Chains A and B, each alone.
Chain A
Amino acid sequence: MWEILFSTHHTDVGLLYIVLSLVALMIGGALAVAIRTELFLPGSQGIIPDPNTFHRIMTTHGTNMLFLWLLPFASGVGNYLIPIMIRYKDMAWPKLNAVAFWMTPVGMALVWLGMADFTWYATPPYSILRAPGPAAEMWIFGIKILGIGSILGAINFIVTILKMKHPDLPLMKTSLFVWATLVTSIMILVAIPTFAAALIMLFTDRLGVTGFFNPSMGGDPIAYQHLFWFTFHPEVYIFAIPAIGMMYELIPKFSRKPIFSYQSGVTAFVVLAIVAFSSWAHHMYATGMNFTEKTVFMVGTLAAVPASAMHVFNFIATMWGGRIKFATPMSFVVGGVVLFFYAGAGGVVNAQMPLDFLTHDSYWVVGHFHLFVMGLISFGFIGMLHYLFPLITGRMYSEKAGMITFWLLFVGVSVIFLTQHVLGLYGQPRRVFDYIPVQPLIVMNQISTVGAWIAAAGAALLMGNLIYSAGRGKPADMNDPFKIGEVYYDHTRKEPHH
């Protein structure tokens, strides 16, 4: 235990990242179930006593899931696999690696203990004029610390991949997961500093010494939204690209076929990374942008579609004609691709300027982006978690429980979020503590809540299976734990602790 906590070895730091992110997933999931249960019927159910608490829970759920589940998990798997894949003994700077990790629990404590109420956008003027402190300040500094941790981790990954790679291994022969991590890390370096600056401006605005975003002092609240989305639209791809990389790692193994086109995978990663920066203001059509701005950002948004479609095509073409083994990891990957397709289709609708005025800030959007983060991204991550389980613990999880977990989560996620699309079209705004008691809204909210309960059962089974199997599972065959005739990762890497 202490050996792992104070270790700088890449597998130990990776394990810490993964455990921390799973804790965050469970807590964020519990908050989400509380929200959905409260919305099961119109009026107050007493689960969440008042709107203020509801807004704090909603903000903490969002912040927690994005910055404490998705980012740390991708870093954890990166830590585990990147040194193995590029054939080096560790990360380039092991101590920096441990420092980057240990910033995460600090930021986590600030976000969780503060429970700010201004949503994860922290949009001014609300966040500078009306949001109660010290929760708001704790959120600002928590995100600041998490951002610095991400930047340190990203620098470490870039240097490790580019400088520590084995000289006999060309970059174009590495796994696509290496490419995914490299591209993601570069995107973090480009995207995060913008919001880091905006956070400082937000903080001084709250102190009252500046008025960058305060209209009564001549500032512009819309400027904040530009800074925010310039970081957090690319952030969507920072979350998604590692998941896509993991899918590229798993699909060929479980299809027992090489990747259909390695080059197009690399190309699509690089194209996605570039066009991710051309579409940030599609979140802002309704802030009063003029026609030209809207058109530019619609084109920038649609430009991301062909690259995403290339990934999906590549996945399907790799599976085509393969001897597919639908073990738990592969099932999660395929389920994630299906949900990715729904999410992408909804995204094309949102990008169309006139249609966005139907869907914007409604439950449609909630359903849409959750299909990304909980569909594509979390499914890719959980699939990879199952695949790595023998490497991490030396034991096998229960395959039967794993498949039940998959079906509970897949059905749950589909029911929750596809229903929410319809809710949005009926006009239910997002971030509401209560809704109008008229019929289509009530029944749709109820279906969505039942879906949340199904997904919660899946998440509980997931944790139960992993925790139980880590201690009592059958010892795994470390050469080919999934019986698919493919080479598994080198498990002897975990031995030296330093």
Chain B
Amino acid sequence: MGHATIEWVYVGVVIALLIYLGASAWEVERFLDHPPKEAKVVKVIGQQWFWTFEHEDGKKELGELHLVKGVPYVFEITSRDVNHSFNIPDLTVLMDAVPGRINHMWVMPDTAGEYLIQCREYCGFSHYQMRAKLFVEESIPVSGENTAVDVPVSLQEAKPVIASN
């Protein structure tokens, strides 16, 4: 084969691989970009250097977030001062918190446990310790009288914060 032929074949193979990768990324992202309609809304507000959360029923939390396993949630993420980034590494949740904007990200936690929430966008002095805790709880039986919504999963059962994958 001549010079040109080898190069065309090579470039063709590279382009074919890229098209395959791009198409599969497009397929996955199309799914991730559209939250289910029944998802519950959780407002997430970042400020130097802590997180506050507000549930649909008006319940507010500071530095801790309690979610129920198997329920889809949409986070409405914003900031009060500078840019932050709302990140739950174990659940691949990452979205910038930008003042003056509301960004959306959805997740359906499928394993109960305790997870790390952190800031992933540089935001000043205490950026490195702008953290919060996510507690994913077992779902509550619908008909039962037990309304112990706020009881977190025991810490002994919870996975290590980072290395749960």
A residues contacting B by CB (< 8 A) are 51-52, 55, 118-119, 121, 123, 125-126, 129-130, 215-216, 220-222, 260-261, 264, 286-288, 290-291, 294-295, 298-299, 302, 305-306, 309-310, 313, 317, 348, 351-355, 357-358, 360-362, 426-427, 429-436, 438-441
Contacts and interface: CB of A to CB of B under 8 A. Distances in A.
Interface of B: 3-4, 6-7, 10-11, 14-15, 18, 21-22, 25-26, 28-30, 32-33, 48, 81-83, 85, 87, 89-90, 92-96, 98-101, 103-104, 116, 118-129, 160-163
A435 B98 contact: no
18 contacts: A51-B128, A52-B125, A119-B122, A123-B83, A216-B100, A260-B3, A261-B7, A286-B85, A290-B33, A294-B33, A302-B22, A309-B10, A360-B94, A360-B120, A361-B85, A361-B94, A434-B129, A435-B128
Contacts of B85: 286, 361
Contact of A427 (B3, B83, B118, B124): B118
Contact of A305 (B14, B25, B160): B14
Contact of A129 (B29, B82, B162): B82
A310 B82 contact: no
A288 B104 contact: yes
Contacts of B10: 309-310, 313
B11 A431 contact: no
A125 B162 contact: no
B98 A222 contact: yes
B48 to A, nearest CB: 8
A222 to B, nearest CB: 6
Given A306-B11, A309-B14, A436-B161, 17 more contacts: A126-B122, A130-B48, A216-B99, A261-B3, A261-B4, A288-B96, A291-B33, A306-B15, A313-B7, A354-B25, A357-B92, A361-B94, A427-B90, A429-B87, A430-B122, A432-B127, A438-B160
A317 B4 CA distance: 12
B162 A426 contact: yes
Contacts of B121: 123, 361
A144 to B, nearest CB: 22
Query: Would you list the 8 A-B pairs with minimal beta carbon distance, nearest first?
Result: A427-B89, A215-B100, A288-B103, A432-B128, A352-B25, A126-B82, A353-B29, A215-B99
Given A305-B14, A306-B14, A438 B3 contact: no
Contacts of A426: 89, 162-163
A431 B122 CA distance: 6
A123 B125 CA distance: 15
Nearest to B125: A51
Contact of B127 (A260, A290, A431): A431
A459 to B, nearest CB: 27
B64 to A, nearest CB: 17
B152 to A, nearest CB: 20
A438 B163 contact: yes
Nearest to B4: A261
Contacts of B26: 295, 298, 353
B161 to A, nearest CB: 6
Contacts, number: 157
Q: Is the interface of B mostly helix, strand, loop or mixed?
A: mixed
A439 B160 CA distance: 10
Contacts of A130: 48, 81-82, 124
B115 to A, nearest CB: 10
B118 A299 contact: no
Contact of A294 (B29, B96, B125, B162): B29
From A288, A352, A435, residue with most partner B Cβ within 10 Å: A288
Given A348-B21, A426-B89, A432-B127, A125 B83 contact: yes
A220 B100 contact: yes
A295 B119 CA distance: 26
Contact of A361 (B120, B124, B125): B120
Given A119-B122, A298-B25, A313-B10, A221 B162 contact: no
B162 A427 contact: yes
Contacts of A216: 99-100
A295 B100 CA distance: 24
A287 B96 contact: yes
A15 to B, nearest CB: 37
Contacts of B14: 305-306, 309
Given A261-B3, A427-B90, A302 B18 contact: yes
A438 B127 contact: no
A254 B21 CA distance: 36
Contacts of B81: 125, 129-130
A427 B123 contact: no
A288 B101 contact: yes
A126 B101 CA distance: 15
A126 B129 contact: no
Contact of B7 (A51, A221, A310, A438): A310
A290 B6 CA distance: 39
B25 A286 contact: no
B97 to A, nearest CB: 9
A312 to B, nearest CB: 10
B99 A362 contact: no
A129 B81 CA distance: 9
Contacts of A435: 128
Contacts of B89: 362, 426-427
Contact of A126 (B83, B100, B161): B83
Contacts of B33: 290-291, 294
A295 B26 CA distance: 7
